[in-house]
Each structure stands twice: as C-alpha cells, then as structure tokens.
Chain A
C-alpha cells in the first residue's frame, strides 16, 4: 500500500465512524503486522479480527477467489450489517437510505460478457450444477459497499457462493471472472430469487449526482505507478476531507506522525 491507499483506508474508517457508526477490520496476520507498523491499531473502534481469516479451513483457492475473505468476514457478522472495502470512503450519513431497503450495493455493473461469463464458460467444482432458478439476466452488483438487512438473505447468498467456490480449483485463464461471479453476480441472482429489492448507493459509477462515495477502484493502478498523481490525490483529499476530521484526535495524531515529514502533501 502506498501513502494514498493508506490515507484512503484511514479516511474510510474515520468517516464511517463520524457519520454512520462502528467499524471492525477483518484481516490476516500479514495485514495485522502492516497495521501495527503504521500505527493504525486503534483506527477501527470495534477492533481488528485476524482469527476469522487465519483459522479458516474452507476448501477455497485464494488465488482464484481472492476476495473470498470478504465473504468469510460477512459470514461472522449478523444482519443488518455493512461490508465496506478499505478503498471506499462514505462521506456522509446514509442511515436514511439503509432504513428504506433490504439490500444496498454500491452500483450496478454492466453484464459484460467478457467479465460476467456465460455459465457454460465458468469453471465449476466436480458434481456441481447451477440451480435452474438462477436468473442469468440480472445485472451484477459492485460489492465494494454492501448492506444486508435480512439474516436469511445473508445466509442464502453466502451458501450459494460457497457452493460454487468450494473445491473449485480449476484455474481460469485470468483471475477476474470466477471471483466476480461468486461475489457480485451471485448477489444479484440471490436477491432476484428471494424476491428482495436490491438498490444501489449510486446510480452510475461516474455520475455527478453521487454525493456519498469516493472509491479508488481501478484508479489504484495509476496511483501505484505515478508518484505525482499520488501526491496530488493525497493533498486534495486532505484539503477536502481533512476539514471534516479537524477535531478527530486519531486523525491529527496520524497526520502528525505519518505526514509530518512530507510537506508536499500539505
């Protein structure tokens, strides 16, 4: 993680706590060491859990299903709950939106055939068959943000996803399609099957009507390869969201210890 990604993670947790409530981080031992090294142990008010990921024995290939850890974390939570990626900042209160619906994801995804493969092209475990009730025409959902109100839906979604991921070891040619099916398309399919309305925080990833969310998303690649963009992004994020956290003791301490010797950001 570079400075820009770390700052985004810090702001994600702090802004969530400011406007929307408590937050816990699920990570593994390696992630935990990183958190300690960067003095971020007290960033998440509900603490940090490493046991869920470290003790997990599910027969899942982490290379193919690289975001399965999110689903394992979701499995330990009880609905209603929110799953929030560390590269996503919710900049205002969304309580009202959460009260009005059963499931909210970040935004709908286009059913791009190269990304969301035809079921016959997906690698499947032995003796596995997609249920007949799967509706393959529904739009997948970006789950960088996911709110689930209903406990039975959470369980159904996770069970369906696990059935597909478990013992599914055949390597695809790339490392996107299997994961986005198990996580993002599956969510929409399950909501459709249970007849639950699935709504979105934003209508389109790039809409100017979005007043709620900053998401690094694919921008991380550019951040990683261009130091100038990284500096400018950090500076601008601090200029805007820094004001919101100007009385937050953790943030001020973080700024002092982390960015003190990097005046280019200020």
Chain B
C-alpha cells in the first residue's frame, strides 16, 4: 500500500531572481559588514507574500544561517563551513553567490584523516577535543 508522506513531496517553492538578490544582499550585509537586517525584514515579508514564499520559514532559515556563521567565525571548523554552505541553499543563496561572500574555508578538520581512530565514539578524552569533524559520507546527504 502506498502511504502518502511529506518526504515524497517536492516542497521547494519557486523564487524570483529579484527576491534571491534581495536575500543575498541581506546576507552579505550581515556577514561582510555586520549590518542589521531587522529594518529590512518588513520588506522581505512583503516580497515573500507577493511570491507565495513562506516568510516564517525563510526568516528561521536566515536566522540559522547567521547563527551558523557566528559559530563558524569562532571555530573555523571545516565541517561547520560545509553546513553553512548547505544552509545558504535553504535561504535561496546558490553556491556561486555563497562563494562571493568570501567566507574563507579553513583547512581545519583535515587532521581527522591522519588520526581517524581518535574521533571514534568513545569516552571523552583530551586527545580527541580538536578532532570533531570526521563525518563520513556527508556528500550523500548534501554536504559538499
């Protein structure tokens, strides 16, 4: 019996180039110039309503993007960078635009290749504290 599920639906709305541009500039202001986006939220909401895009979801996704960016800025963790890029996609910021934001991708995390055993699941020990990347097969669920 076929069971209807939310996971079989394509929930991705179509978004105009103009709205994408608007969102990108918001993100750019926040990330590159530490600007506040609060004043422009009202305009973003109007644009979303015009295009039948769920504003609440987009606002949540942008908030998450900015929080991840702050996390990344503190840690420079390579895995965080990959999630940041993924989250940008949920905010309709495609990869070429994301790259223009010039959030540098650090090389941290590559060490996990050379001492993989340390990053296994195990009781906490000091030697593993800097090896928290190490996800295998991230590309299979959308991480570049």
Contacts and interface: CB of A to CB of B under 8 A. Distances in A.
Interface of A: 63, 66-67, 85, 87, 89, 91, 106-107, 109-110, 112, 114-116, 140, 142, 144, 174-176, 179-180, 184, 202, 204-206, 208, 210-222, 226, 228-229, 231-233, 236-243, 245-247, 249, 252, 264, 266
A174 B125 CA distance: 6
Contact of B122 (A175, A228, A236): A175
B113 interface: yes
Nearest to B137: A214
B17 interface: no
A232 B64 contact: yes
Given A219-B133, A232-B83, A236-B142, A205 B113 contact: yes
Contacts, number: 160
Contacts of A91: 137, 140
Interface residues of B, number: 48
Contacts of A184: 117
Q: A116, A174, A232, A238: which has the most chain B beta carbons within 10 Å?
A: A232
Contacts of B133: 218-219, 222
Contacts of A107: 136
Contacts of B137: 89, 91, 210, 212-215
Contacts of B128: 176, 218, 221
11 contacts: A85-B121, A110-B113, A174-B125, A180-B117, A204-B113, A208-B139, A218-B120, A219-B134, A228-B71, A239-B7, A246-B7
